[in-house]
Amino acid sequence: MNQREAAIRISHLREELDKHNHNYYVLNKPEIDDYTFDQMMAELIGLENEFPEFFDASSPTQRVGSDLNQEFKQVAHKYQMLSLSNTYTEEEVQDFDQRVRKLTDENFEYVCELKFDGISISLTYEDGLLIKAVTRGDGEKGDDVTANVKTIKSIPLRLKGDYPPEFEIRGEILLPFSVFEMLNAEREEIGEQPFANPRNAASGTLKLQNSSVVASRKLDAYLYHVLGDNLPDDGHFELLHHASLWGFKISEHTRKCRNLQEIFDFLREWNVKRKDLPVATDGVVIKINSTRLQKELGFTAKSPRWAIAYKFKAERVSTTLNSVSYQVGRTGAITPVANLEPVLLAGTVVKRATLHNADVIKNLDLHLGDLVFVEKGGEIIPKIISVDLSARHPMSEAVRFIERCPECNSQLIRQDGESAWYCPNETGCPTQLKGKLEHFISRKAMNIDGLGSETIELLFQNNLIHNVADLYELKPGDLINLERLGEKSATRILDSLESSKTVPFERVLFALGIRYVGETVAKKLARELKSIDMIESASLDELMSVDEIGGKIAESIINWFSDDQNKRLIGRLKDRHLNFELKSELKEGQTEKLKGLSIIISGTFEKFSRDDLKAFIELNGGKNVTSISAKTNYLVAGENIGPSKLEKAQKLKIPIISEDELLQLTD
């Protein structure tokens, strides 16, 4: 490669890597896998070494990725939080070992630990109390996410045993596979784009502004690195044992290794066994055990000299794309699915793979009959990674996203800023109608016993139901003579429908299936606006003033209530006496002493968590808000309050009170 060709290739690689860094760290929407990214980075490093005249301080090779978010306060790390160099072969691990041995004459041991695929976090403890939780950020500083981290049950707020007076411990915040699957099912149900993998879901969750939503996501954490002065041991492995005694969740699979063979045995063992773990792993971290020797070896510009990450290659197979089919969700979202020649992948036979949306098809440039490479995203969901263009038949037909609904033939629409195409025929598309019915009867909604998808299909095909209001007009004679239903089944269904009239308002609102109104949004709307009539008459600004409701959700609600068929549906359900307003009975300990007050919580507190204070405000009739406006009545300020919030409160002359003064408001 001559100088001109190198300049062109270097420029291209830098541009691509910058784009993929942004997709990964900022947007949480990676377009390529880690292996492909690392190969591109390795190529760029090689070219920059070969052609040093093209050095650029802003090159992706000169910095680590950054996940900084301006909505959070940035905090400087006491110890740099750099990324590890990656390897993919045992030969590269051997090269690492040789580099280390050239730098020291000492005998040393290694520690091998599973590399969990989540979000790096740094926790600071003083006198046994968690005082600060900060993301990796750009390695020099990170986002203060203390309030959100305090909701993670596997992270101790108060330590036990004989711990140092002050230290830092680092680890990985994760979303278990079981929670990831449930979360994605919920997102798809309300028309939201599913998360690409558990790491993206964990990242998105950790950066939410509402810590109560973070708590509901059931994040987990493993801790793996203790830093500080006056630690009880020199050995990294031994320090982790101490940390487990203090109350931290430490992986039981960490192992000390005396030589390369023991390292290779560990790598081979966990390349297989990792598939049985409840959380995602993408490799093994290999570290020198002695922390004293770690300090002596030091760091390069980007990574430590005493540690390396061995990355597992995601299991990938090739197979033929036979066809693409299209599924219609209950909200009308169209999801393309690749139908594949059956192939064994990670222990299961894969016949289908999600394509998510039209953009994925376009970016892959899919053709029917293509030889495609398939991986399991996050070890769960099969997805097409790439296409073998060299194997493409010259006469193959390109896959083109459909223009009309496969169920009702309506012209599809796509809203600005959205990736999904929708069928707009909400009240006439059979698949959407059945999907709405199945959602309405589900356990988290109306929980109607005796009705399932097969029974809904049976009732629908016999023209007994067309929408959810029709369910409440069913009679015994409509059900008894249907196939697979008898008198006993009919009685159970009708009794359950009658019992569902006591289901609380927030679940009825969720059951209606308004796009983007999931469980959490339905609860917030119900608690804030109290009744279906108030929600229907609310303006865009009034809806957006409700905590966690933005423009997209507010517009969807207004559009739903502007449809005359939906208004008639609500009228029929009201006639059947479903709950369409929040009951006013007070809970135990509940008062209305803060009724009409909008209060914002900011900072960290000595006696109570932010969630405790928010619960106290709600229990006493107050409203928690997340941003300061002229309508805000009080700012409850703790330590480390964001300077912008404080400045805005002072400018608007909003009373700034302490946690004790908040409690005194109800005396």
Question: Which residues are part of the catalytic machinery?
Answer: 115
Query: In whole angstroms, what is the distance from residue 508 CA to residue 574 CA?
Result: 11
Report residue 584 as tokens. Answer: 């006013």
- Cα angle: 125, vertex 127, 131; to 5 degrees: 35
**In Å, how far are 11, 39, 45, 353 from 7, measured between CA atoms?**
6, 18, 13, 39
* DSSP state letter for 304: B
Query: In whole angstroms, what is the distance from residue 22 CA to residue 480 CA?
Result: 59
Give me the phi and psi of 334, to 5 degrees please: -100, 120
Query: In whole angstroms, what is the distance from residue 136 CA to residue 121 CA?
Result: 6
Instruction: Enumerate residues 6+ apart whose C-beta is below 8 A from 311.
Output: 34, 35, 38, 86, 87, 88, 115, 282, 283
Distance of CA 358 to the CA centre of its chain: 22
Burial class (CB in 10 A: 0-12, 13-18, 19+), 562: exposed
The closest alpha carbon to 646, from 658, 635, 634, 662, belongs to 635
Query: In whole angstroms, what is the distance from residue 283 CA to residue 300 CA?
Result: 22
Report residue 268 as tokens. Answer: 């081979």
Residue 39 has a CB neighbour count (10 Å cut-off) of 13
The closest alpha carbon to 370, from 343, 344, 339, belongs to 339
Asked if residue 168 lies in contact with residue 227, where contact means CB atoms within 8 angstroms, the answer is yes
Helices (H), 538-578: 540-544, 551-561, 564-575
What stretches of 346-478 adopt beta strand conformation (E)?
348-354, 371-377, 381-387
**b/e map 372-398, b = 16+ CB within 10 Å:** bebbbbbbebbbbbbbeeeeeeeeeee
